[in-house]
Amino acid sequence: MIPWISKAKDDDVAVSSRIRLARNLKDEFFPSIMDDLAGDRVYNKVKGMFDTVDNYSFIKMKDVDPVEKHAMVERHIMSRELENSKSGGIAKLDNESVVIMINEEDHLRIQSITPGLEIEQAFGVIMDIHEPVKSQFAYDDQFGYLTACPTNAGTGMRASAMLHIPGIIMTGQLPNISNTIAKMGMTVRGIYGEGSDAVGNMVQLSNQITLGLNERDIVDNLKSVASKLIANERNARRLILETKASQVEDQVMRSFGVLKYARRLSSKETISMLSDIKMGISMGLITGIEHNELHSLMMDTAPCQLQHTLGKELIESERDIIRADMVKKALSNTKEA
Residues in contact with a second copy by the rule CB under 8 A = 246-247, 249-250, 253-254, 256-264, 317, 321, 324, 336
Nearer to a second copy by Cβ, of 224 and 287: the residue is 287
- State phi, psi for 237 to the nearest 5 degrees: -65, -40
**Contacts of residue 41, Cβ cutoff 8 Å, sequence gap at least 6:** 28
3-state secondary structure of 226: helix
Q: Residues 88-112, buried b or exposed e (16+ Cβ, 10 A)?
A: bbbbbbeebbbbbbbbbbbbbbbbb
Nearer to a second copy by Cβ, of 145 and 256: the residue is 256
Q: What DSSP designation does 178 have?
A: H
Residues 177 and 231: beta-carbon distance below 8 Å: no
Nearer to a second copy by Cβ, of 143 and 261: the residue is 261
3-state secondary structure of 155: coil
Q: Report in angstroms how near the CB of residue 201 gets to a second copy at its nearest.
A: 20
Q: Report in angstroms how near the CB of residue 167 gets to a second copy at its nearest.
A: 18
Q: Report in angstroms how near the CB of residue 74 gets to a second copy at its nearest.
A: 24
Nearer to a second copy by Cβ, of 41 and 260: the residue is 260
Q: Report in angstroms how near the CB of residue 292 gets to a second copy at its nearest.
A: 23
Nearer to a second copy by Cβ, of 122 and 294: the residue is 294
Residues 26 and 108: beta-carbon distance below 8 Å: no
**Contacts of residue 207, Cβ cutoff 8 Å, sequence gap at least 6:** 157, 158, 159, 160, 185, 186, 187, 213, 218, 221, 222
Q: Report in angstroms how near the CB of residue 234 gets to a second copy at its nearest.
A: 22
Inter-helix orientation angle 291-300/316-330, to 10°: 170
3-state secondary structure of 334: coil
Nearer to a second copy by Cβ, of 313 and 336: the residue is 336
Q: Report in angstroms how near the CB of residue 68 gets to a second copy at its nearest.
A: 27
Nearer to a second copy by Cβ, of 317 and 333: the residue is 317
- Strand ranges in 249-298 using DSSP code E only, listed in sequence order: 286-287
Q: Report in angstroms how near the CB of residue 272 gets to a second copy at its nearest.
A: 14
β 202-207/157-164 pair status: antiparallel
